Structure 1
């Protein structure tokens, strides 16, 4: 019996937030990411906590996101990096992104989880 390809839930218009704070001066639970998606391209704006303004841009293949990000903090510093995320659908229908990231403008790397905020 042939299986039907799974449709992937669009991220377009979703607002997500980290489930835990990262290191001081980085994104945290007060940061909000607003995602957009079209034809395998993804982008988002984010702000909150120590981040005045941030942007990410990249691609989506199935449930894998690959993007670069850049952000401006309240102290006037900027930073940028690369992230690969896996899109997971939660039992309640919300979306979770399980992320592996690395700074390119400074030292540091890690993992994080962001989840869609309840409506």
Structure 2
């Protein structure tokens, strides 16, 4: 049975994001672009850029909370994976922000990150993800 998005905020479907900064112990940074999709309470994304050659995440959205697993290949040719919970918020400019708490499952470490929605102007001609 699909999980319905009970959030008053709109869907993340077809929105693009980038990390505000590279978190200590993480591999995602401002050059990493995420292309999110959302349907029936499910979320997924492809991401690449910076230290990440190619990555994928999949999970669920309940209200304003995302819960997902991620896996990627870094520029050193190593795979990495973990889990994350994100709080969906909107900043003063009306753009989505994801406040993330993540833990590596493939190695030691955990942290927090802020991922911000990019405008259509910012991503025009720069994102290679479908």
Query: Do Structure 1 and Structure 2 share a fold, with TM-score over 0.5?
Result: yes
Q: Please identify the structure whose Cα radius of gyration is greater.
A: 1
2: distance between equivalents of 1:26 and 1:72? 10
* CA shift in 2, pair 1:26/1:6, >3 Å: closer
Calculate the TM-score normalised by the size of structure 2: 0.84
Indicate the structure with greater strand content. Answer: 1
Q: Which residue of 1 aligns with 2:16?
A: 15
Partner of 1:55: 56
Q: Any unmatched runs of 5+ in structure 1?
A: none
Q: Which residue of 2 aligns with 1:32?
A: 33
In 2, are the aligned partners of 1:25 and 1:50 still within 8 Å (CA)? no
Distance 1:112 1:25, change over 3 A: closer
Supply the distance in 1 between the matched residues of 2:68 and 2:7 (Cα, whole angstroms): 23
Unmatched tracts of structure 2, length 5 or more: 1-5, 121-130
Ranked by relative contact order (alpha carbons within 8 Å, sequence separation 6 or more), the top structure is 2
Q: Is the 8 A contact 1:17 1:29 kept in 2?
A: yes
Aligned length: 115
2:62 and 2:7 mapped to 1: Cα distance? 13
Structure 1 residue runs of 4+, over 2 Å off?
5-8, 22-25
Shift in alpha-carbon separation, 1:71–1:90, aligned structure 2, 3 A: same
Partner of 2:115: 114
> Does 51-60 or 14-23 show the bigger shift?
14-23
Separation (CA, whole Å) in 2 of partners of 1:104 and 1:6: 29
Over the aligned positions, Cα root-mean-square deviation in angstroms equals 1.5
